[in-house]
Structures are given as structure tokens and as C-alpha cells.
Chain A
Amino acid sequence: METNHEPLYLYPVWIRLWHILNALFCLVLIISGLSIQFSNPTIIVKFRAAVAVHNVAGVLLSFNYILFFIGNLFTKNGAYYVIGVKGYYGRLKTQFHHYTIGVFKKEEAPFPVTVDSKFNPLQQISYVAIMYVVLPLVILSGLGLLYPEITVNSLIGISGLDYTDLLHLACGFFVTIFMCIHIYFCTFGKTTLSNFKSIINGYH
């Protein structure tokens, strides 16, 4: 589907490193998180081990997120996440139409990858949502659960930990859903595996 045959160097080393670590930590956190939530009988990992793994992976993911955050504040990569408001809805519809209908008619991708625009409109909004809404929330709520004494004691008669817990679970769930969809959409490259190769060697 890619028209540009010149290989583009889109993923510098720091992004690739951040991305692979992020994927790894998310996977570990999802598995250990499920093991904590459904612990009796043990579904994947034993509760105590799952808690230890979850805590360590959570802290590592947070540091990794800081790398992503600072990188996107100060490098060119941050610009890809800026959504152009004007006409955005129309572009979103075009991309949605491509994924639901166009792709089966072997139509060209409406927003091909260029040096200026790495993400299509759907990718843009979902990446902004996951990286700038869901991940900060899951990290902050995780911190609140790791150190329960810093969490607000109660709000309208309900424990602050209850809200924090719910928020953490909901965000964790959205990350899981995101990962499934993200991995599937990565098969939309020139070949099924080409996008996976890109995020490893840096060239699109």
C-alpha cells in the first residue's frame, strides 16, 4: 500500500528502544495484573510473585514513559502527535472508510507515511489518547495504589483507593484493548511483517 519506495528513516534509536521496552512492560503488567485481580485459583502467576513483578514492571514502565515524554517535548517526533484541528473529522472519516471498505478493494492508503506525517488520522487520535491520557492515568493511579498512604482517604464516603483502583483497572483494560488492535493494524504494511521490521530497523 505504500507508494513511496525510498526507505524513510522514521524511528530513531531512542524511539525503537522506548517502544520495545514499553511493549514488553505492558505485556508483563497485563499478565501480572490479571494474576492479581483473579488470584484464587491462580490463573497465570501466583499472587505474591505477580504483585512483585507488577510493582517492578510498573516502576520501570513509568521511567520509560518519562523517556517518551521528554523525547516528545523536545525532539521532532513530538510534532507527529499534534492533531491538525481543521478538517480533522473529514480525514478521520476517510481513514475509517479505508479500513472498513477501501482495504478490501485494495485501494491505496489515503494518508501515506511521509517524513512530515508518520501517523494517519486514526493512529494520531488513538496514540494521543493512549499515550497522553490512558498511560499517565494508569501510572498515577498505580502510584496511588503502590503507596496507599498518599491516596486521598475518602471522597463522599467512599475510599479514595476505590476510585484509584477502578481507574487503574479501567486504564489497564484500555491498554490491553489498544495492544490487540495496535498489533493487528501493524499487519497493514507493504507486507504483513514489514511494519514489524520497520520498528526494529528504523526504516519505513
Chain B
Amino acid sequence: MIYRANVRPAWVVLVLLLCFAIAFALAKSSDSSSSGKKTEKQGSTEKVDLAKFKNSETNEHCLKCHGQSKYVYENAESKKPVHKRMYSELIIKRDEFYVSNHKGFRCTDCHSEDYATFPHPGNLRMESKANCLDCHGGDEKYAKFQFEKIDSNFMASVHSQKHSQDFTCWMCHNPHTYKINARTNENLKETITYDNLICLSCHSDITKYELLTDKQKPNILVKHEWLPNQASHFTNVRCIECHAQNKDTLIVAHFVAPKSMAVKKCESCHAQNSILYASLFKYQVRENIKKQGFFKGLFLSETATIGPDQNNTLNIISLVFFGLTILVILIHAVLRIQKSH
């Protein structure tokens, strides 16, 4: 008589599934509460201690007006104070400037000393603005950033070709807030958001878009309707992954190509030889391998993408395992056939 434990496995699985559902609900709720904490924390670190910056005192002469949304001056004739709104694009936010790459500069390092007088002389409106290469070009200290290469890529890009002189470095990289990101930020998602916001600053803002073209601004959501899991793509890859031609030596691609050349094939990214390795994951993977060793660095990442996330070792192990299974079956079958004759 065979002893039977009278519990059907299906009931066991049902109980386990219920436990899983509860654990899942708990994990999801702690997930959302921890992300809530994160935004709170980010908000509180925004205050900057100005005393730390050597030129902050000098800069305050400018920022007492340009650092806020309104300014006050005395009318020379009526001797009464006049309250005016500052144009939004002339506002320099201290919190952003003093964490940016150019935080060590005085305002007058780049702008004319004549701004020291108020009202500012009218001819200063014609002041030409320096671009990246005026300071960074040919400087060995900045060689690793390859500004010349960035410039030639940019010149070939649709941004430069279509808009010529109107499209400068500043359209994307605000010198008062620009902060190097892809090389220093270990959080891939933050890099993605940061870089995509640069594109969206024009492509989702009609006022800035109109500065450069009379064309009607396309609706990005509608234009990308063909893309499955659109929200997931928008938060997990950068626009430039598909819209720029990535050169292996540059961390960030500047050769933004016409839309006819945009990547549209799923398997360009979702494959072992994914183009993302030449762009988005390039720096990340290199750094991870340095820190965690080849296996972990390549294998476990913050994001999960079908295709590029494959691990060759696992592929080989599974292929060998599969091969051995088939081999054992074949040998067994051949022996059976032999014995039956």
C-alpha cells in the first residue's frame, strides 16, 4: 500500500501564489514610498552655501537683480523705487549655477565689464557670446572631452545644417547651468532624464522651437506612436540613441541626423550586438566592469533590456546543457533500437 500525502500540488501552488501576491503588493508599496522619499531629499539639497565660492561675492552684484524674478531700481527723476519683472531667460538661478561646471567664474569673465553700470549701456545688447570652443578649443586640459570632434559632428548634424548660425552650443547646453553628467553620474536613469530634457527643452516647448523654425512643431507622442511600450522607451533610453549617429570615441553623440535616418528597427537595440553598447551603456558597462569585475559588470545592470542584457557565459552553458540532453537521448535511443533487433 502506497502512502499518499493527501495534498494536491495545485492547492500548494494556490497558497504560494496568494503569498506571492501579498509580498508583491507589499514590495510595490515600499517601492513607491521610497521613491517619494528620494524626491523629498532631492528637494532639500537644492540650497547652496554661497560662501564656498570664491567669486560669489562679486557675482552677487549681478545676481541681486538677475538671481530673482523681479528687480528694483530708483527712478532718477521721481526718486521713487520701481519694481520690474526680470525676463525669465535673464534669470540665473544661484542653486543651479553654483553646482554647474562654470561655477568658479565671475560673470564678467564671459560678459563685458560694462555691465557694472545700471541701466546697462544699450550697445551691450549686441555683445557676441562665446561658444564652447572659444575657451575649450585646443586646450590639452580638455582634450579628453574632444571638443573639436564634438564640433565637427555638430557641424554635420541636422541642427547645424538646417539652422546655421542660430543654432549654437547654448541651445542645448546652458552655460549657466550645464553640468557634466554622462561621465560622472552613476545613476543611468538620471543621465537619461537629464539628456532627454535637453532635447525636450525645444522639442516640447513651442516658444523655444519657434525661435529656429516656422515649421509646426511635431507632437512627439504622436510621432512615436509606432514605438511599443512608449513610456518605457522614453524613460529608459535617450533620444540620441536613435536620432544621433554614435561615434565610438565620444561619450555623447552630437551628430543628430535627419529623421529619415533615425533607428526604427527593434533589433538594432534588442540584440546582442546592440547599438546601445556604443552609446548609452558604453560608459556604464566600462565603469561597472572596472568596479565589479567582468561577469557582474556586464551581467547585472540598473536597467533590463531584452537583447543587450544577454550573458555569453549563460548562453554557452545552456547550449552545452541542451546539447548533452539531446546526445543522451540519441545514445539511449540507438541502444534501445540495437537491443530490440
Chain A residues with CB under 8 Å of chain B are 36-40, 42, 46-48, 51, 69, 72-73, 78-79, 81-87, 103-106, 117, 128, 131-132, 136, 140, 145, 148-150, 152-154, 157-162, 164-165, 173, 176-177, 180-181, 184, 187
A149 to B235, CA, bound (A): 11
Chain B residues within an 8 Å CB radius of A162: 300-301, 303-304, 309
- Is chain A's binding surface mostly helix, strand, loop or mixed? helix
B309 near A83: Cβ-Cβ < 8 Å: no
Residues of A within 8 A of B300 (CB): 158, 162
Residues of B within 8 A of A187 (CB): 333
Q: Which B307-341 residues sit within 8 Å CB-CB of chain A?
A: 307, 309-310, 318, 321-322, 325-326, 329, 332-333, 335-336, 339-340
B225 at interface (Cβ–Cβ under 8 A)?
Answer: no
Given known pairs A48-B266, A152-B28, the reply for A165 and B10 (CB within 8 Å) is no
Let me know if B267 and A132 touch, CB within 8 A: no
Measured CB to CB, the residues of B under 8 A from A are 2-14, 17, 20, 24, 27-28, 31, 35, 228-229, 231-232, 265-268, 270-273, 300-304, 306-307, 309-310, 318, 321-322, 325-326, 329, 332-333, 335-336, 339-340
Taking A69-B10, A78-B8 as given, write out 7 further A-B residue pairs in contact, using a Cβ cutoff of 8 Å, ordered by the A residue number.
A117-B2, A131-B9, A132-B12, A152-B31, A158-B301, A176-B322, A180-B325
**A140–B5 alpha-carbon span in the complex (Å):** 27
Given contacts A104-B335, A140-B20, A152-B31, contact A51 B8 (CB under 8 A): no
> CB distance B304 to A159 under 8 Å?
yes
Partner of B10, one of A46, A78, A148, A159: A78
Closest chain A residue to B339, Cβ basis: A104
Q: Given that A72-B8, A86-B3 are known contacts, is A184 also in contact with B329, CB under 8 Å in the complex?
A: yes
Establish whether residues A84 and B318, one from each chain, have CB atoms under 8 Å apart when the complex forms.
no
**Most chain A C-beta atoms within 10 Å of own C-beta, residue among B12, B31, B321:** B31
Contact between A132 and B301 (Cβ–Cβ < 8 Å)? no
User: Which chain B residue has the least Cβ–Cβ distance from A188?
Assistant: B336
CA A17 to CA B236, docked complex, whole Å: 42
Question: CB-nearest residue of chain B relative to A158?
Answer: B300
Q: How far in angstroms is the closest Cβ of chain B from A133?
A: 8
Q: Decide yes or no: A37 and B307 within 8 Å by CB, A158-B300, A180-B329 being known contacts.
A: yes
Contact partners of B332 in chain A: CB under 8 A: 184
Give the Cβ gap from B84 to chain A, nearest Cβ, in Å.
46
Contact: A165 with B304, CB < 8 Å?
Answer: yes
Whether B8 and A73, one on each chain, are in contact in the complex, defined by CB atoms closer than 8 angstroms, is yes
Q: Please, which residues of chain B bring their CB within 8 A of the CB of A42?
A: 267
| A173 / chain B contacts, CB cutoff of 8 Å | 318, 321-322
CB <8 Å contact, A82 and B309 = no
Determine whether the beta carbon of A157 is less than 8 Å from that of B3. no
Partner of A84, one of B3, B20, B265, B301: B3
> Shortest beta-carbon distance, A105 to chain B, in Å?
8
18 contacts between A and B (CB under 8 A): A39-B266, A40-B307, A42-B267, A46-B267, A47-B267, A69-B13, A69-B14, A73-B8, A82-B4, A83-B5, A84-B5, A103-B336, A106-B339, A148-B229, A159-B301, A162-B300, A180-B329, A184-B332
Query: In whole Å, how far is A153's beta carbon from the nearest beta carbon of chain B?
Result: 5
The docked-state distance in angstroms from the alpha carbon of A159 to that of B229 is 17
Assess whether A153 is in contact with B35, with CB atoms less than 8 Å apart: yes
Query: Closest CB-CB distance, B337 to chain A, in whole Å?
Result: 10
Task: Please tell me if the beta carbons of A159 and B302 are within 8 angstroms of each other in the complex.
Answer: yes
Residue of A whose beta carbon sits closest to that of B302: A159
Bound complex: CA A148 to CA B318 (Å): 26
Shortest Cβ gap from A39 to chain B (Å): 4
Contacts of B266 in A (CB 8 A): 39, 47-48, 51
| Closest chain A residue, CB of each to CB of B229 | A148
Do residues A82 and B17 form an inter-chain contact, with CB atoms below 8 A? no
